[in-house]
Amino acid sequence: MRGKWHVLGALPFLTLFFLFFFFFFNLHIKTTLLSDNAVLIPPANPPAEFSLLIGILTRADNYDRRHFLRLIYGIQSSPIAKIDVKFIFCNLTKEEQRVLIALEILRFHDIIILNCTENMNSGKTYTYFSSLPRILPHHYNYIMKADDDVFIRLEQLASSLRPLPRADLYYGFVIPCASKNPFVEYMSGMGFILSWDLVEWIGESDIPANNREGPEDKLVGKWLTMGNKAKNRFSDKPAMYDYPGANGKCSHDLIPETVAVHRLKRWDRWLHVLRFFNVTKGLKPSKLYHID
Ligand SMILES: *[C@@H]1O[C@H](CO)[C@@H](O)[C@H](O)[C@H]1NC(C)=O
Ligand SMILES: *[C@@H]1O[C@H](CO)[C@@H](O)[C@H](O)[C@H]1NC(C)=O
Ligand SMILES: *[C@@H]1O[C@H](CO)[C@@H](O)[C@H](O)[C@H]1NC(C)=O
């Protein structure tokens, strides 16, 4: 009996002791972490000079293509730009999409579903640009619209944008293919970039709102010309082009300074391109895989 009372009597002191110990230990861990961080943070990379959102217009059902493109862009980055890649499609139409796309969003956070009906040349590009200022959590310096059959080299793309104006800019591969004059017509839908002010203008002006029917890339050029916008235009030739032999004067051989190659609709073309640009050269030998 005496022993039991003794232990119970000591309980408050023990509790106090553990509380004190816990508090002190916690504090110690926090300060250690803080000072470690203080040493680790300063020499990190310089901040990005500008930001770019690449929206790849695709369809909800193209699961395999998205999976592949996530690999292609997931292994690339640029030291000078903050680049986000997202997949853009219109309203979901099938029951299974609501579950499968929800899984993708939970896992990858890289999908934007616009309020539109999937249909070539009926305003998806308009909905894309005009919705962004309302729906994005923050703005970007540049917004790109890209196809899902184009290979974009992010480092080269960022380097080509670096010296260009951050405002009133329309960048891409000018049509007609043989032309080098960026003011002649419009930039090909394979991949073109607008500065943020032009994206806001598309969302606010009546000109795009009243001219939504037609080939989407051509329309964007038309809006900008009608609105007397995009005084700064840049056609990135020969760094952007269609796959060799795929499309007449829009095509030429693969070249080292490439920014984007378009019309990669077949695996043999993707393989050729990925090999040419040494995309998998970084793979280190390992006992875990026999790859030769
Ligand atoms: C979506 O688009 C439809 C048809 O254009 C429109 O009636 C509706 O208000 C839009 N919904 C939202 C949330 O913007
Ligand atoms: C897209 O889906 C939403 C929600 O189901 C609907 O309110 C809207 O009208 C649809 N928009 C179009 C353009 O079909
Ligand atoms: C790919 O690697 C080879 C061999 O190292 C090199 O000669 C070639 O220039 C590289 N190609 C590109 C596009 O960087």
> Which ligand 2 atom minimizes the distance to the CA of 91?
1
**What is the arithmetic mean of pLDDT over 98-106?**
98
Q: Which stretches does DSSP call E strand in the chain?
A: 50-57, 81-89, 111-113, 142-146, 151-152, 169-172, 174-175, 186-187, 191-195, 232-235, 240-242, 260-262
Quick one: which ligand is closest to 131's CA? 1
* Distance in Å, CA 114 to ligand 1 centroid: 10
Give the separation between CA 199 and CA 193, rounded to whole angstroms: 10
Whether residue 247 lies inside any domain: the answer is no
Helix (H, G, I), strand (E, B) or coil at 66: helix
Q: Is 282 in the pocket of ligand 3 (CB under 6 A)?
A: no
Convert the pLDDT of each residue in 82-93 to its tens digit.
Answer: 999 999 999 999
Secondary structure (DSSP) of 174-231: EESTT---TTSSEE-TTEEEEEHHHHHHHHH-HHHHT---S-HHHHHHHHHHHTT---
What's the pLDDT score for residue 290? Answer: 79
Whether 19 is in a domain gets the answer no
Ligand 3 in reach of 278 Cβ (< 6 A): yes
Give the pair of three-digit tokens for residue 288.
């875990």
> What per-residue confidence (pLDDT) applies to 121?
66
Query: Within a domain: residue 9?
Result: no
pTM over 0.75: yes
Q: What was the pLDDT predicted at 33?
A: 43
Percent of the chain with pLDDT over 70: 84
Q: What was the pLDDT predicted at 54?
A: 98
Nearest to 120 by CA among 55, 56, 215, 202: 215
Is residue 272 in some structural domain? no
The closest-lying atom of ligand 3 relative to the alpha carbon of residue 278 is 1
226 inside domain: yes
Supply the pLDDT for residue 21.
Answer: 47
Pocket of ligand 2 (CB under 6 A): 91, 115-117
CATH code of residue 222: 3.90.550.10
Q: Which of 179, 173, 181, 186 shows the shortest CA–CA distance to 262?
A: 173
Nearest CA to ligand 3 atom 5: 278
User: 222, exposed or middle or buried, with CB in 10 Å at 0-12, 13-18, 19+?
Assistant: middle
The reply to whether ligand 3 has any atom less than 6 angstroms from the CB of 277 is yes
CA-nearest residue for atom 9, ligand 2, is: 115
Ligand nearest to the CA of 274: 3
Residue closest by Cα to atom 14 of ligand 3:
277
What pLDDT does residue 31 have?
Answer: 40
Nearest ligand 3 atom to alpha carbon 258: 13
Q: Which ligand is nearest to the CA of 91?
A: 2
Beta bridge partners of 260: 152, 240
Q: Per the domain annotation, does 187 fall within a domain? A: yes
Residue range of the domain that includes 149: 50-236
Does residue 17 lie in a domain region?
Answer: no
Q: Residue 135: what pLDDT?
A: 97
275 occurs within a structural domain: no
* pLDDT mean across residues, the chain: 88
Q: Compute φ and ψ for 243, nearest 5 degrees.
A: -50, 140
Averaged pLDDT, 123-129? 94
Counted domains in the chain = 1
| pLDDT tens-digit series, residues 9-18 | 554 554 554 5
Give pLDDT tens digits for 23-68. 444 444 444 444 444 455 555 678 899 999 999 999 999 999 999 9
**Looking at the predicted structure, is the pLDDT value of residue 200 above 70?**
yes
Look at residue 120 in the predicted model and tell me its pLDDT. 62
Q: What is the pLDDT of residue 15?
A: 52
Instruction: Tell me the pLDDT tens digit for each residue of 147-158.
Output: 999 999 999 999
| Amino acid 211: pLDDT | 94
Between residues 292 and 133, the one the model is more confident about: 133
Q: What is the pLDDT of residues 223-247, one digit of tens each?
A: 999 999 999 999 999 999 999 999 9
